[in-house]
Chain A
C-alpha cells in the first residue's frame, strides 16, 4: 500500500482516468487541450496563469507540470515568481476582504 498521498510518477498516469470512463475522460482532455491553445491569450500567457492557479489550488502535480511547461516556453524564474505572487495576493486579499463581513457583524451585534 502506498504510504503517501502524492507520488510524482502518478502525474504520468493522468491519462488513465479515461480508462474508467472513456467518454467523460475524452471530453475533459479535449477541452483541456483546447483551453491551452493560442487564442486571445498566447499559450505562454496561459501557462503562467496555470502556474499561479496551480499554487492557489496547491496541486503538486500541476506545479510540477506548469513549472516545466514554463521552462519549455522560455518563461524566466522571475516571471514565474511574479505570477505566483499574483495568486498569493488574490488568496490573501480574498481572506482579508472577508474582514469586512466580520466588521459588519461586530457593528450589528455590538456596535
Chain B
C-alpha cells in the first residue's frame, strides 16, 4: 500500500507525457492492438464530438487524506494543488449561467479545500438540479472539524457519491488503506442517520465501485444487488445506486498494472470488451472538467494526463458554452476504459 503520491516519490509516471508514451507505444505501436482512434473510426465515430453540456465537474484540489492504490488523480496528503477562492468565484459565474443540469465537485477529498464550505454554500444558491459532492467517506471521520459534514450536506441538499470497492473489509482496505473500511461504514451509518440513502429519501447517497485489481467491473445492477444485501445485512446500511466504474490505465493504476505485470493483459481486456454502443454515450461528450487552477478538460482523466480541451476556450475565466459545444474530444488509448463492456463514466454504466 502506497503512502506517498507518485509526485512525491518523483516516479517516472508522475509525468503525464511518460504515461501517454506508454499508452501509445508497445502493443499499440506494433499493431497488436488497434489505437482508440482507429477503433472508433471502424464505426464512424471518429472524431468524438462534444454534445450539449450536461455535467460540469470541478476538481477543487488534489489533496486527500487517503492514498488509494488505483487513484487516477495521484491524490494524497502530500499534494498541494488547491483551488483558490478567486478561481471558485470564476466557477460560480459559470455555475449561475450554465445549461448543465449537474454540478459535480471532486478532488482529492474536496472537503479538504479550506474554501469548500463557502463554495458549496454559494454554488447551492444557483439551484442546479443535481449537486454532487464526491466524498471518500473517511474524511467525515478523519477529524472533528469534519464530523458535521452529513448535516452540512443535508442543509444544502447535496447529492453524496462515495467510493466503496467492496462490502468486505479485506478488499476495501487493500485498495484504500488500513482502517478505511471501518471508517467508511461508520460514515455511511452517519449519513443514513440524517436521512441519506434511505429508500424514499430525497437525500441521494450513491456508491462508486472500482475493481480492486487488474480486472474490469461486472454487471452494475447485479453488483448493486450484492452490495445492498451485504451492507444491509451486516451493518444496516442503505444507499440508492451503485456506479460501477472501470479503472483507467493512468497514474497510480497504470503504475500498479506495470509493476504487477498486468498492463498488457489489462489493455487486451479493455480492447476485447470494446463496445461501440458505449462510445455514443461516453461522458466526455456531455461533461466538462475544470481543474484546480481553472483550466478546462474533456474529463477528469484528461485533466490528469494534462490534455486540455481542443477549443479556443481554455480557461474557466473565458468560458463559453456555445464555443465549447461541438469541439473534438481529445483521445488516447486510456479512453478504452470508458468504452469497455457496459461503458463507464463518473455516473456509472452508460450502455
Residue from A12, A69, A72 in contact with B211 in the complex, judged by beta carbons closer than 8 Å: A72
- B213 to chain A: which residues have CB within 8 Å? 71
| Contact between chains at A44 and B222 (CB < 8 Å) | yes
Residues of B near any A CB (own CB < 8 A): 166-168, 170-171, 211-213, 215-219, 222-223, 226-227, 268, 272
**10 nearest interchain CB pairs?**
A72-B218, A73-B218, A71-B215, A72-B215, A68-B215, A74-B226, A74-B223, A72-B216, A76-B168, A12-B268
Interface bin, chain A: 10 to 19
- CB of A83 within 8 Å of the partner chain: no
Most buried by B among A12, A68, A74: A74
Most B Cβ at <10 Å: residue of A12, A42, A71: A71
Question: Are A73 and B216 closer than 8 Å at their CB atoms?
Answer: no
A76–B222 CB distance below 8 A = no
Chain B residue numbers with a CB within 8 Å of A63 are none
CB contacts under 8 Å to B, within A62-101, are 68-69, 71-74, 76
| Complex interface: chain B residues within 8 A of A68 (CB) | 215
Could you name 22 residue pairs across A and B whose Cβ atoms are closer than 8 Å?
A12-B272, A38-B222, A43-B219, A43-B222, A44-B226, A68-B215, A69-B218, A71-B213, A71-B215, A72-B216, A72-B217, A72-B218, A73-B219, A73-B222, A73-B226, A74-B166, A74-B167, A74-B218, A74-B223, A74-B226, A76-B168, A76-B170
Given contact pairs A43-B219, A76-B168, A71 touches B211 in the complex (Cβ within 8 A) = yes
Docked complex Cα distance between A12 and B264 (Å): 12
A43 to B213, CA, bound (A): 21
Alpha-carbon distance between A12 and B268 when the two chains are bound, in angstroms: 9
CB-defined contacts of A73 to chain B, threshold 8 Å: 218-219, 222-223, 226
Could you tell me the dominant secondary structure of chain B's interface residues? loop
Task: Tell me if A's interface is mostly helix, strand, loop or mixed.
Answer: helix
CB distance from A50 to the nearest CB of B (A): 14
Q: Which residues of the other chain, A, contact B218 by a CB distance below 8 angstroms? A: 69, 72-74
Q: Which single residue of chain B is at the shortest CB-CB distance from A76?
A: B168
Q: A43 vs B211: C-alpha distance in the bound complex, in angstroms?
A: 18
Name which residue of chain B comes closest to A15, CB basis: B272
Expressed in whole angstroms, the Cα–Cα distance for A48 and B170 within the complex equals 20
Assess the B171–A76 pair: CB atoms within 8 A: yes
Complex CA gap A90/B168 in Å reads 29
Give the CA-CA distance A42 to B217 in the complex, in Å. Answer: 17
A38 cross-chain contacts in B, Cβ below 8 A? 222
- Whole-angstrom CA separation of A73 from B213 in the bound complex: 12
List, in ascending order, chain A residues with CB within 8 A of B216's CB.
Answer: 72
Instruction: With both chains docked as a complex, state the minimum distance between the C-beta of B305 and any C-beta of chain A, in angstroms.
Output: 26
Give Cα distance in the complex from A73 to B227, angstroms.
11
A72 to B226, CA, bound (A): 13
Report the minimal beta-carbon distance from B47 to chain A, rounded to whole angstroms.
29
CA distance A44 to B230 in the complex (A): 15
Give complex CA distance A6, B168 in Å: 35
Residue of A nearest to B219 (CB): A43
Distance A66 CA – B218 CA, assembled complex (angstroms): 13
Q: Smallest distance from the beta carbon of B294 to chain A beta carbons, Å?
A: 38
Minimal Cβ-Cβ distance residue in A for B227 = A74
- Min Cβ gap B64→A in Å is 25
**A residues 1-20 touching B (CB-CB < 8 Å):** 12
Asked if B211 and A42 make an inter-chain contact with CB atoms under 8 angstroms apart, the answer reads no
| Cα-based distance from A74 to B170 in the complex (angstroms) | 12
What would 15 more interface pairs be, CB under 8 Å, given A72-B215, A76-B170? A12-B268, A38-B222, A44-B222, A68-B215, A71-B211, A71-B215, A72-B211, A72-B217, A72-B218, A73-B218, A73-B222, A73-B226, A74-B223, A74-B226, A76-B166
Find the residue from A44, A69, A72 having the highest chain B CB count within 10 A. Answer: A72
Closest to A68 in B: B215
**A82 CA to B211 CA in the complex, in Å?**
22
